[in-house]
Structure 1
Amino acid sequence: MSEEKLYAVEDDNRLHLAFNDAGKPMWFQTGGNFTATDSVASMWSLKHGGHVVTFIQEPKKVVLSKEQAEIVDAAHNSKRPASYIILKSNDEELLMNAYVNGFTVAKEKKYNVKVPHTKEAWYYKSGDTDLLTICPADKELRGKFTESEIEQYGLQDCEKEEVTDDAD
């Protein structure tokens, strides 16, 4: 989480201190002037009234794997989310941050996988279960295996190239 803060002066009615172009102070319901130092905000509050309030930037969402995201989603439906996360993962701090601050799911890397013992053929998927071979010129069109698919088809020992095209 970012520790960068902004400070403003607010009164008891939640109006914020602002200065017009001539430097005259005014109170607004929204907006106001912000400063990066609490000492400047304190000076403004002493001079013009009100009290210092702190604004903290919104935290960045945590990037999780699909499996980690499923744990965090399930924790939202749990009576004791922290206990659920602790029971399901060794990455408690990461997943609790995701639970509190939100998360995105990382896109899985994809690979083209070369058929063993050949120079001219590469695997591609045909449906969910069938593997067929193609020539190198066509591999960009039809390859793209995830790590879990490479394991599923038993292709761990095959040569592979990471697909850098982000079109999927």
Structure 2
Amino acid sequence: MSEGKLYAVKNDEGKYWDFEDQDDFWPLDISDCPTTPSKEQAEIVADEQGGHVVTLVEEPEKVVLTKEQAKIVKDAHDNKIPACHIANKSDDEELLMNAYVNGYTVEKDKRYLVELDGLVTTDNAQQYLTKKNGKWFACRRMPGMHQDFTDEELNAAPEWAQQLNREEVTDDEQ
């Protein structure tokens, strides 16, 4: 048995051998068990019944890259010698080559919620730094309001807002 692989036998009509019933080739959606973990068993069936062995391998996970790393990989796809492009642009060749081959996602910017300590509404709802139409103000936590900020956004905020404590927002809270 090969680790992490399954095998199927497919004939020229696009049907798959059923390893459970072992009596015929069937369309994939009808076959009870179209795969086996044994490459040897699949090869025997292909030899005896016709068809060819198809190897099923789990799709590798995509690599998470920074925006800068993603640009290097994207540009490498347009380069005649992608490996050289990646080697010339980054010290992390293995990670970026993995991303080039298996795909990648770009990491999300960290986002922060800024609680305005001691500032509450008359019904005791906590107030948070909020921005709308270029204006900064206090508001209770409300969906649709711009209250989760990147470092870049907070660094462009008024000086008094830059000095407030930031709490990182997780994906669950966004």
Q: TM-score range by the shorter chain?
A: 0.5 to 0.7
Aligned to 1:6: 6
Q: Which runs of 5+ in 1 are unaligned?
A: none
Q: Supply the AA of the counterpart residue of 2:86.
A: I
Q: How has the CA–CA distance of structure 1 residues 56 and 167 changed in structure 2, closer, same or farther, with 3 Å as cutoff?
A: same
Aligned to 1:86: 87
Q: How has the CA–CA distance of structure 1 residues 87 and 124 changed in structure 2, closer, same or farther, with 3 Å as cutoff?
A: farther
> TM-score, normalized by length of structure 1?
0.67
Aligned to 1:145: 149
3-state secondary structure, aligned to 1:60 = coil
Q: Supply the AA of the counterpart residue of 2:167.
A: E
Q: Which runs of 5+ in 2 are unaligned?
A: 120-126
Aligned to 1:62: 63
Question: Could you tell me how far apart the structure 1 residues matched to 2:135 and 2:114 are?
Answer: 11
- Number of aligned positions between the proteins: 158
Q: Supply the AA of the counterpart residue of 1:85.
A: I
Question: Could you tell me how far apart the structure 1 residues matched to 2:10 and 2:166 are?
Answer: 59
Aligned to 1:18: 17
Q: Supply the AA of the counterpart residue of 2:5.
A: K
Question: Could you tell me how far apart the structure 2 residues matched to 1:167 and 1:76 are?
Answer: 36
Question: Could you tell me how far apart the structure 2 residues matched to 1:90 and 1:149 are?
Answer: 29
The alpha carbon displacement at 1:159 in A equals: 0.8
Which deviates more, 42-51 or 102-111?
Answer: 42-51
